[in-house]
Structure 1
Amino acid sequence: MAELLPWEYGLIAVLFVWGGFVRSGLGFGGAVLTLPFLLLIRDEPLLFLPIISVHLLFFSGLTVWQAHRADAKLGRAVSTVNWEFLRYALPLMLVPKLIGVAGVITLPGSIVTGFIFCTVTLYAISYIVGRPFKSNSKRVDAFFLMLGGYVSGVSLIAAPLVVPVAASRVTKEQLRDTLFVLWFILVGLKLIAFVITDVDLQWRQHLWLLPCAAIGHVLGLRFHAYSLRADTQLFFRYLGFALLLVSAAGLARFWLNFAPA
């Protein structure tokens, strides 16, 4: 991350604290609620996506492992992971996921950025009006999962498409850890593709960004305990307004870059 000003490094650190908080607090949204802000600082998706991917693998695996240990100590018979849902979702998502990964590797960074901001704009509006993507149809659920697989492959921001399907089939107590296992598998495939195609995984940046994400992770674990008994709709509405403003600024810059002189 060369050629950045000190305040830009500071802002990136804060955003990774925020991403860690959202990821462990909700089980989703670490990328969709962080990546748009990062792209306003540096318009290079392949700079941030490997870092976010590694963080997701590390912290999702850690959280599920800790939950498994807690269940074993307390003698709970019900796992925090709903494996039946994963057996349903993964076959639908894998092929679109691989197509999306090929797109993010081969398409120009500006095109990927424009796609991300357009997608986040739709998500932000759904948060503001309190009407998240949902359906009571098996066919629409399957479509959301396949589309979510593709979006995840391109940009890691598939949560608003996948979460409503999972929430309708998984208990609230199992939702976060089930999504963590799903993201772990999907992101693992993305990182393998990055390695095969020689994408820089930004290992040096992990030395200072991983501790930032760890701070957010600890705070998010506390928020998760609160969210299980509280209504977080107002929280998402405020996030929707913030995301809409950021996406509007990002799209404006995107169109100015492509506008004829």
Structure 2
Amino acid sequence: MTPFFPELSVIAHLLIALVFIWSGFVRSGLGFGGAVLSLPFILLIDDRPLVYLPIIAVHLLVFSSLSIWGDRRKHKDSGVDTRVDWGYLKRALGIMLVPKLIGVFGLLALPNHIMTGIIFAIVVIYSISYIANRPIVSKQPWMDTALLMLGGYVSGTSLIGAPLIVAVFAAHVAQARLRNTLFALWFILVAIKMAAFIWADVDLQLIQHLWLLPCAAVGHWLGQRLHNYLAQTDARVFYRWLGAVLLLVSSAGLTSIMLA
């Protein structure tokens, strides 16, 4: 069994490898976004969400664990408290769990082109918020609940609920503990999704990790340097450029689906 997709060209494989490097880069650099900032690119190359979501899910499990372990080791003697905020994490999971499960089973039931269209549409909304420098924020308890439920549902369908969830966690978790708390949350949410994939007998594409996991590892290593850079500078310009690229890619994707 070959660790490649026989139906894709060499150029397509090279592009997918670059996207997975990018995925690891933003996940490690920002603490979120490995799926939401890479899926639009992947789906322009190969319109099969259920092929790539299990691969991204495994990467999330691996690199979220490594990030928490590495960060704790790095700050062990610095006096900086980077522990996971398990108290708030448990409260948030109580709100997100049911919508998450509904989203997971919705994903398994939806046709590829509809799921792809939903992903592109959601990313368009995120990209506009980045360009306008108007990140999603939560200021009221009812808004916390709404965003967590919606984020759980979107995470269940496509693993791209991070911007909604981060908006709530950023308001309730200390800045030093936020990144590792989010990584712990991603691990739990993805574990639920992986269990559903296994239950539904979805192909986890494990053979593809022979070449895609090293790609994500390269991105993860580079992303650690981005994280250190963003911690010392104004990240708004980075997010605006990122938003512009995502808007262009997702708009092209939506157009291709509507014209198909």
Shorter-chain-normalised TM-score: which range? Answer: over 0.9
Tell me the secondary structure at the aligned position of residue 214 of structure 1: helix
Q: 1:173–1:228: 8 Å Cα contact kept in structure 2? A: no
Aligned residue among 7, 30, 34 for 2:11: 7
Q: 1:172–1:228: 8 Å Cα contact kept in structure 2? A: no
Distance 1:222 1:107, change over 3 A: same
Q: 2:129–2:135: 8 Å Cα contact kept in structure 1? A: yes
Distance 1:3 1:67, change over 3 A: same
Q: 2:81–2:177: 8 Å Cα contact kept in structure 1? A: no
1:101 and 2:85 aligned: no
**In the aligned structure 2, how far is the partner of 1:175 from the partner of 1:120?**
23
Q: 1:150 is matched with which residue?
A: 153
Aligned residue among 171, 185, 191 for 1:188: 191
Distance 1:231 1:75, change over 3 A: closer
**In the aligned structure 2, how far is the partner of 1:240 from the partner of 1:78?**
31
Residue identity opposite 1:255 in structure 2: M
- Using the TM superposition, name which of 246-255 and 144-153 deviates more: 246-255
Matches within 5 A, 1:70-81: 70-72=74-76, 74=77, 76=79, 78-81=81-84
Q: 2:29–2:225: 8 Å Cα contact kept in structure 1? A: yes
Tell me the secondary structure at the aligned position of residue 54 of structure 1: helix
Aligned residue among 8, 20, 23 for 2:24: 20
1:229 and 2:252 aligned: no
The Cα of 1:71 is off from its aligned counterpart by: 4.2
Q: 2:120 is matched with which residue?
A: 117
Give the number of equivalent residue pairs: 256
Distance 1:77 1:243, change over 3 A: closer
The Cα of 1:167 is off from its aligned counterpart by: 1.1
Aligned residue among 205, 210, 214 for 1:207: 210
Q: 2:24–2:220: 8 Å Cα contact kept in structure 1? A: yes
Q: Deviations over 1:163-199 (max 9, x none)?
A: 1111111232222111100000000000000011110
1:31 and 2:15 aligned: no
Tell me the secondary structure at the aligned position of residue 178 of structure 1: helix
Q: Gaps (5+ residues) in structure 2?
A: none
Q: Gaps (5+ residues) in structure 1?
A: none
Aligned residue among 108, 112, 127 for 2:130: 127
Q: 1:96–1:153: 8 Å Cα contact kept in structure 2? A: yes
Q: 2:70 is matched with which residue?
A: 66
TM (norm. structure 2) is: 0.95
**In the aligned structure 1, how far is the partner of 2:81 from the partner of 2:133?**
31
**In the aligned structure 1, how far is the partner of 2:74 from the partner of 2:239?**
29
Q: Deviations over 1:59-108 (max 9, x none)?
A: 00111122233444x17473432222202211111110000000111111
- Using the TM superposition, name which of 80-89 and 137-146 deviates more: 80-89
Residue identity opposite 1:13 in structure 2: A
1:256 and 2:259 aligned: yes
**In the aligned structure 2, how far is the partner of 1:7 from the partner of 1:79?**
41
The Cα of 1:237 is off from its aligned counterpart by: 0.5
**What is the root-mean-square deviation of aligned Cα atoms in Å?**
1.2
The Cα of 1:162 is off from its aligned counterpart by: 0.8
TM (norm. structure 1) is: 0.95
Q: 2:119–2:158: 8 Å Cα contact kept in structure 1? A: yes
**In the aligned structure 2, how far is the partner of 1:87 from the partner of 1:198?**
29
Tell me the secondary structure at the aligned position of residue 168 of structure 1: helix
